[in-house]
Amino acid sequence: MNRYSIEEFVKNTEQVDKGEGFFELETPRMLEVNLESLVWAKAGSMVAYHGKIKFEREGVLEHGIGAMFKKALTGEGASLMKATGQGKLYLADSGKKIIILHLQNEAIYVNGNDLLAFEPTIKHEIKLMKKVAGMMAGGLFNVRCEGTGLVAITAHYEPLTLRVTPNKPIITDPNATVAWSGSLQPDFQTDISLKTFIGRGSGESIQMRFEGDGFVIVQPYEETYMTAQS
Decide if pLDDT at 137 tops 60: no
- The CATH number of the domain covering residues in 6-218: 3.60.160.10
pLDDT for position 42: 94
Decide if pLDDT at 13 tops 80: yes
User: Helices in the chain by DSSP H: which ranges?
Assistant: 6-13, 130-133, 192-198
- How sure is the predictor about 48, in pLDDT bands with cuts at 50, 70 and 90? very high
Q: Angle at the Cα of 202 (from 198 to 207), degrees rounded to 5?
A: 80
Measured distance CA(206)–CA(174) in Å, rounded: 7
**High-pLDDT (> 90) share of the chain, %:** 57
Decide if pLDDT at 74 tops 90: no
Decide if pLDDT at 175 tops 90: no
Residue 87: alpha-carbon gap to chain centroid: 23
Task: Tell me the β-bridge partners of 106.
Answer: 147
- How sure is the predictor about 102, in pLDDT bands with cuts at 50, 70 and 90? very high
Phi-psi map region of 156: left, alpha, beta (phi>0 left; psi -120 to 50 alpha): beta
